[in-house]
Structures are given as C-alpha cells and as structure tokens.
Amino acid sequence: RMVLEKIVHLEALEDIARLPKHAERVIAAAAYYVGIGLSVVPLQIGGKELPPKKYKVGFPEATKSEKTVLRWFSEGGKFHGWNIGIVGGKSDGVFIVDVDVEDYKGRKGFVTLAELEDEHGKLEAPYAKTPRGGRHYFFKWDYGCGSRNNGLGPAIDVKGGKMEAHTGFVAAFPSVVDGKTYEWQCGGAIPDLPEWVVNKVFKTESAILSHGGKGGRGNEEMEAEDTETRYDLGSLYKMVAYINPDN
C-alpha cells in the first residue's frame, strides 16, 4: 500500500481559511487532510467531542477517504457544519503532542515544554495553535506510542494509538470552539518522533501498566486509553526492552 508523504502546506490552508463559510472551510480542510494521508473524524458543532453514540461514528470510523469526508461534511451530509478532528495512531498515522496553556491543576504546559527543550533540544514539527493558546505538534506515529494525559509531563498530553487502532485525537483547523478557531502556524513535512519523546512515552506507559492508572473519557482531553489500557504484544515487547535491568 502506498503511504503518502505528510506535508502541511500553509499556503493551501490559508486559501481554505479565506472561504466565507465555516461549513465550506471544513469540507475543504477535510479533503486536504485526507489528501496528505491524515485520518479525520467529525466533532460536535462548537465543541471538541466525538459525535454522540447514536451516530455510530468514533475512532473505528476515522477515515482517509475523500469520498467519505465529502459524504459527511457536504451540504445534506449528517455532519455538515460540524467541527473536525485529526486522529492519532495506526501504522501510517500521526502522533500529536498537545501542549496546554494551563491544566485544571494550574500547571503550565509551556513551562514543561521549555524544561523538556532545555534538556533535549527544540521540538520541531508542524504545529497548530488552539483557541486557548495551546499548541498541537504533529509527528509520525511510532510503534507502541499510545495516548495519555500528561504523557510528556504536566499539561502536555499525547495522542497516539496502536498498530491497528486510533486511541486519541485533537480538534483541528478550521474547527471553532468558544468562538475561536484552531490555526496552523508552522508547516512542513511531518517528521519522525524524536527518540527522547518515544522513550518518555514508553516510560509513562510502563509506569501506568505497573500501577494500574485509570481516568475518564468524553472529548479530546480524555482518551480511550484513560479508561481501559490494553497492549498488543509488540507494545509490551518494546516496553520490556526499554526497562534497564541495572536500575
């Protein structure tokens, strides 16, 4: 199967942003995203939640099909005028680093990010600004990198998945939440995950696997893996390989 090279072109997205209606921008952006190999889902109008269960559209229905997104979002489609999300995970998908301005405990994501970059170097990847001023960095998904709140530290969540399953997502341009729009600010080719990010995600996942953490689910702030963590054999193998027997 051919894998598309994922390159975020700011010029194309700026053209989409100039379309007069939100619904038109969503249709165009959805077609653009699937055209560069990103999987998308509809999100509720004015929000960042997956559709209610009655619509039967969730992670398993995330799509890279232009035909599907046109059916969803075009006039007369059941998701016309809704928001849109980009999902993480799967073998040719993306992994998203979600930096919050401040979490519910008052911890500041950009302070955490500065500390991580001081230690490991600048995080370089295409990114989008969220309505609250946070940031979504987009990388190629790496084997075993799942979704977890505070996966890289306080107020920095990670959105990934498994080899054959999406488990995380973020709302994406041109979605509107609280009257403000998600905006792409840095384009370019979506790069491989830095090794230190992969290692840190495995460390977090291994700790949770050992201590049995649980959370909630409902919108992009809470992921499928926060309620139930199941690991495929390959993920467990890499976690075990990560452990240093001398520690």
What DSSP line would sit under 18-35, residue for residue? TSSSHHHHHHHHHHHHHH
Is residue 139 within 8 Å of residue 197, measured between CB atoms?
A: yes
Closest CA to 80 of 163, 24, 33, 154: 24
Lowest mean pLDDT among 21-30, 73-82, 93-102, 215-224: 215-224
> Could you read off the pLDDT of 50-94 as tens digits, one per residue?
999 999 999 999 999 999 999 999 999 999 999 999 999 887 899
Q: What is the mean pLDDT of the chain?
A: 86
Calculate what percentage of the chain has a pLDDT beyond 70: 80
Residue 91 is predicted with a pLDDT of 79
pLDDT tops 90 at residue 209:
no
Dihedral pair phi/psi, residue 192, rounded to 5°: -65, 155
Interval 159-173: pLDDT, tens: 999 888 998 999 999
Report the alpha-carbon distance of residue 113 to residue 32 in Å, rounded.
Answer: 29
For 141-155, what is the mean pLDDT? 92
The region of weakest confidence among 51-65, 101-115, 198-212, 225-239 is 225-239
pLDDT on residue 44: 98
| pLDDT score of 247 more than 50 | no
Residue bearing the bigger pLDDT, 158 or 203: 158
- Contact indicator for 94, 6 with CB cutoff of 8 Å: yes
Confidence of residue 233 (pLDDT cuts 50, 70, 90): very low
Least Cα distance to 219 among 5, 50, 84, 106 occurs for 50
What letter would DSSP give residue 191? P
